[in-house]
Structures are given as C-alpha cells and as structure tokens.
Amino acid sequence: MQRDDPLPSWRAGGTRDALEEFLAAAEQVPIADRVAYFDNDGTLWCERPSYVQLDFFLDSLRKRVAVDPSIGERAEFAALLTGDQAGVAEIGLEHVALALAGLFDCMTPEEFASAAREFMSGAAHATLGRPIRSVTYQPMLELVAELRRRDFTVGIVTGGGTEFVRAISDGLYGVPAELVVGTLIGYDVSRDGQGPPVIRRNSGLLGVANEGSAKVANIQTQLGRRPILAAGNSGGDREMLEWAQATGFPSLALLIDHDDAEREFQYTSTAQTFAETEPITDVGARLGWTVVSMARDWEVIFPAVP
C-alpha cells in the first residue's frame, strides 16, 4: 500500500479493482455528468441496533416525558419507551414515525437543525462504545473524498428525514444541505402581523417515504442530475443503483454487505416500507453490481476516535 493511497482502508482484491477501474474510466466523463449519490443509513454510517435518527427522536421523547409524563401514555410512545416491538409492529412504522415527527411540530428549520446537531455532539452509540458521530464508515469517507477530488458532485439520497440529514451532512461528509434528498416533512408558512414569512414544521409527509422508485423520482425532481455511481445497502436502494448502472457512461453500482459480526453487525438489510421478493445481495450478484464485503474488503470499519 502506497503512503499516498487515497483509499487506504480498501483492501486489495476484486472490489478495490472495480473501484479503481471506475475512477479511471470516469476521467473520460464530462464533469457535469460526474455525479455520485449515496444512501446514508447502512451505507455511510451504522444503522444497527437502531437508526441514528430514531435514537435522536427517542432521546427527545424521553426528555419530553421527564417534564410531562402524560406524553408517554400515547400508544405509539408507550410501545417505544417500553421496547414493545410487537406493539410497534401492530401500530405500524409509518404511524410511529409520524408520531415522533410530531414532537417537533411548530419548530423552525433552524431550531430543528440545532436540536439535531446538539444530539449528535454528545450521543454515544448503544453498543459500539464510541460517539454516534464516529459511526461513519472510514472506507466510504475515503471514497467520497476521492470522488470529490476527481470533480464529482456527491449527494446523499436517504430514506431518513431530509431535515435531520441536512443538519449534519456537511459536518460528517462535506455534503451541503441542498444535495440531500430524503423523506420530506411538511411546513406551514405564516406571518406575525406585518413581519416576514415564518416557516414551521408540521407532522405531515410530503409525498411518500424516500425508498425504492421514490428515490429515482426524487433525484430527478429535486436535483435534476442522474448519477453514474450509486451506493446503497438495502432493497430500498435497488432502483437507484439500477438507474445509475444504465446511464451509458462508465458506471458503478455499489452495494454494502453487512457481513462482519465481529467489527460491526451481520445481517441482510431490507427496505422499511415495502416487502422484497429477493435478498438484495442476491439481486446485486445477479445484476453485476460491485458487492462490498465489510469483512473481506475493508481494513477498518470506523475512523479513529480522537
């Protein structure tokens, strides 16, 4: 390994070869078409044993309940606070997510972003013994940096809440807020007398959860630029990876396989809002994607903690 290697955490082998071949071929692609989009949960950072955004919501819920215990009596919140997974499943993930989003009703975007950043600055991961802000994947950080060095536009296309990811994406990945596409929450616009318009959150969704075909549609409507590299880890990313693979330019569909129980977690990631007919790792193998084995292809998983 060379000291100036831009991808030091990627071990030698077929996966690294595919990355390097793509990067070399992309030099012939017009800069305007050098676009890469990454899923976030399970692709850029750890999503187990629970999503980071869910941890943020639960932290906020516990703080509210400490002040007003009656809040915890709502069925969705009671199931979450007691760890009643069967109850959460019976209520439905969408209803639970909307109830949690309601905790932030009437907040301005700035107030919500401040709360998200405050949580990220001090929270610890439940099982890994490290700050939550450091559960990003070091090899993916290196890849993002190298793509940017090669004049790629790098964005995040996530099933998570747009505003939560926007609040932290620049600090974690160098991705500005305007290049984050996620599940959209609604806003109400009002005036206080003759003052300027004020926007505040409500708990309604704009459109549907940003998974599956919605990712492709939302990339087009919100960003307007098709990727030649797309990276994901679940069935919720399938259409985005297939779309990138079919551009006509040199392309790369990158799938992260969580197969390292010792250093992270071992599981096959699935979509959250629809059923899949085939494990995504089987899909990736069948369609010729580059399937990244965490256990085999990554020298380290997480960055060093200062």
Question: Residue 229: enclosing H or E segment and its boundaries?
Answer: strand 229-232
- What is the pLDDT, as a whole number, of residue 226? 98
What is the structure's pLDDT at 85? 87
Look at the alpha carbons of 168, 140, 156, 159 in this order and tell me if their dihedral is positive or negative.
negative
Exposed/middle/buried for residue 277 (C-beta within 10 Å: 0-12, 13-18, 19+): exposed
Q: What is the full per-residue pLDDT of the chain (306 aa) written as tens digits?
A: 445 899 999 999 999 999 999 999 999 999 999 999 999 999 999 999 999 999 999 999 999 999 999 999 999 999 999 999 899 889 987 788 889 999 999 999 999 999 999 999 999 999 999 999 999 999 999 999 999 999 999 999 999 999 999 999 999 999 999 999 999 999 999 998 888 999 999 989 999 999 999 999 999 999 999 999 999 999 999 999 999 999 999 999 999 999 999 999 999 999 989 999 999 999 999 999 999 999 999 999 999 998
Separation between Cα atoms, residue 79 and residue 174, nearest integer Å = 36
CA dist., res. 293 & res. 260, Å (int):
8
pLDDT at 56: 97
Give the per-residue pLDDT at 209.
93
**Residue 97: its pLDDT value, please?**
86
Output the pTM of the full model: 0.96
CATH superfamily, domain at 14-46+135-297 = HAD superfamily/HAD-like (3.40.50.1000)
Quick one: pLDDT at residue 3? Answer: 53
Contact 166, 160 (CB under 8 A): no
Which helix (H) or strand (E) segment is 254 a member of?
Answer: strand 252-259
The continuous run of DSSP H or E covering 170 comes out as: helix 162-173
Among positive and negative, which fits the CA dihedral 174, 178, 179, 185?
A: positive
Q: Where do we find the tokens 């006509």?
A: 248
The tens digit of pLDDT for each residue in 1-14 reads: 445 899 999 999 99
What is the C-alpha to C-alpha distance for residues 273 and 131, in angstroms, rounded to an integer? 29
Residue 63 corresponds to which amino acid? K
